[in-house]
Amino acid sequence: MGVLDGLKPERVFHYFEEICNIPHGSGNTSAIAKYCVSFAKEMGLECISDKFNNVLIRKPAYTGRENCKPLLLQGHLDMVCEKNFDYDPKFDFSKDPLRLSLMDDYVFAKGTTLGGDDGIAVAYMLAILEDDTIVHPELECLFTSDEEAGMEGMKGFDASAVKARRMINIDNEKEGEILVSSAGGRKVKCHIPVRYNNVSGMSYDIIICGLLGGHSGSEIDKYRGNANLLMGRLLHYLSEKLDYQLYYLKGGLQDNAIPREAKASVLIDPKDSAYFEDLITEFEKTVINEYRQIENNITIYCEAGDITEEHVLSPKTKERIIFLLMTIPDGIAKMCPESQNIVQTSSNAGIMRLRQDYFSLIISIRSSISSEKSAMSDKIKYLTETIGGEYIIESDYPAWEYKEVSPLRDMVSKAYVELFDKEPRVTSIHAGLECGLIYDKLNGIDIVSIGPDIEDIHTPKEKLNISSTERTWRLLLKIMEMCD
């Protein structure tokens, strides 16, 4: 018996649990893509798959709706893989199923992200394709891969096979919203070459944890703490107070998730240990005060180790890394002039790693204005190269721009009003969606994005609202029934 058995809509939650049993983190979507292909074959449906693990399944129109224009439904197969700092160390996203649980009106995964973003879209589409009683025009369901890793699946997708010129993207996380535009983005990497010296001293691990994190697009306006940059600030603070040597530095798991945890390892003179511990405590108090209305569980502490000899960063290398972490643009750069509650441009220093030959900082840049995205990229490039680093653009995707005329938007709004007797919120999102890429590939396609309530995406606190999932299901059925 499944954990989600008995939840409604039953087949949607059946498929959602099936998906959660298949590892499907970004870069690991071959198994879930094969699952979708096998599903199509079992249903006798036309199916196209490609080397990028994209899958397009086509279903003929319901009897009497053959003359209606086709409709494309779209969602992505991959999920962001994050787990709590103290969660089961043996849990492996690449091979283990998610451990689902229920609480009140929510589904969540124990200790990890849930992948409701965007597993619920996959579940909706499979349930629709399976059910021959649903009234709909000719349907095309597009399951794309690696959306969370630079939208690589959609970038490689050959859209010439798509018939539809109207599309519902099911990758919004707020019920009652109709998204009509989204930000473009760029993933960049700053490489700083490093040098080491052998030094002896008393080792300490410094840990920053307990931050809320969240999606670096939709949650960036919450002004939550960035563990990577707080660690950089702490290392700078320590540098002004005492001598220490740095030999380990790591933080964040995804470029598009606000980092919740970071760790550094240092060597100090044993006689400074009490003073060092006092400095860490004092810094924690300072940060807790600064984020008192935003973060409620910040923890910054140190753990003493042994007297040891380590391969530590040279003083100049350490200085360059701290300089980068102290000066890199992060968070909101500009709000939209037309709507002050929507972010226009931002950046997120999502992943930092100290390797044997270099230090890397991976940053997600977002903007609804392409020129501002480029300007932010240039600023980070200039900063990186000034301190002798290398700047690499790893991926780039366009914004999905607002259309003045959208028959699909009007129809979805009407369906929402008829079902729920209230107007939906028609708005934009600072997060990146695949809509911009599909719009570029199918010039003029009419697009909206909807979805059920999913809270705290890209964090282990992620949870999917059950009642909202059912209401959004009814909205999808209503929209398909109204399609002409």
How many domains does the chain contain in total? 2
Q: Which of 397, 422, 443 is the last residue of a domain?
A: 397
Query: Comparing 100-109, 221-230, 333-342, 423-432, which segment has the lowest mean pLDDT?
Result: 333-342
Domain-embedded: residue 2: no
Rounded CA-CA distance 213/295 in Å is: 10
Q: What is the mean pLDDT of residues 238-253?
A: 97
Cβ burial 326-361 (10 Å sphere, 16+ → b, else e): eebbbbebebeeeeeebbbbbbbbbbbebeeebbbb
> pLDDT grade, residue 432 (50/70/90)?
confident
Q: Domain check: are 230 and 317 in the same one?
A: yes
Q: Domain check: are 226 and 341 in the same one?
A: yes
Domain-embedded: residue 423: no
Domain-embedded: residue 221: yes
Q: Domain check: are 374 and 445 in the same one?
A: no
Q: Domain check: are 111 and 64 in the same one?
A: yes
pLDDT of amino acid 87? 87
Domain-embedded: residue 178: no
Contacts 24+ apart (CB under 8 A), 233-237: 233/325, 233/326, 234/206, 234/208, 234/264, 234/280, 234/283, 234/300, 235/264, 235/318, 235/322, 235/325, 236/322, 236/325, 236/326, 237/279, 237/283
E strand map for 131-244: 139-144, 166-169, 177-193, 196-209, 214-215
Domain-embedded: residue 415: no
Q: Considering only CA atoms, which of 34, 256, 20, 10 is closest in space to residue 143?
A: 34
**In the Cβ-directed half-sphere of 481, how many Cα atoms lie within 13 Å?**
13
Q: Domain check: are 228 and 146 in the same one?
A: no
pLDDT in tens, 144-157: 999 998 899 999 99
State the residue range of the domain holding 365: 187-397
Across the chain, what does the average pLDDT equal? 96
> pLDDT grade, residue 339 (50/70/90)?
confident
pLDDT in tens, 378-413: 999 999 999 999 999 999 999 998 889 999 999 999
**The dihedral sign for the CA sequence 83, 377, 355, 395:** positive
Q: Domain check: are 127 and 209 in the same one?
A: no
* Enzyme catalytic residues: 78, 147
Domain-embedded: residue 414: no
What separation in angstroms does the CA of 459 have from each of 42, 134, 151, 291?
A: 35, 35, 20, 19
| CATH number, domain containing residue 327 | 3.30.70.360
Q: Domain check: are 149 and 192 in the same one?
A: no
Q: Domain check: are 238 and 344 in the same one?
A: yes
Percent of the chain with pLDDT over 90: 93
Q: Domain check: are 329 and 287 in the same one?
A: yes
Domain-embedded: residue 403: no
Helix (H, G, I), strand (E, B) or coil at 209: strand
Domain-embedded: residue 416: no
Rounded CA-CA distance 105/467 in Å is: 7
Q: What is the DSSP string of 442-476?
A: STT-EEEE----EESTTSTT-EEEHHHHHHHHHHH
Q: What is the mean pLDDT of residues 457-479?
A: 97
Helix (H, G, I), strand (E, B) or coil at 405: coil
Q: Domain check: are 476 and 363 in the same one?
A: no
Q: Domain check: are 219 and 271 in the same one?
A: yes
DSSP 8-state class, residue 247: E
Is 430's pLDDT higher than 80?
yes
Rounded CA-CA distance 459/214 in Å is: 6
Q: Domain check: are 317 and 455 in the same one?
A: no
| CATH number, domain containing residue 70 | 3.40.630.10
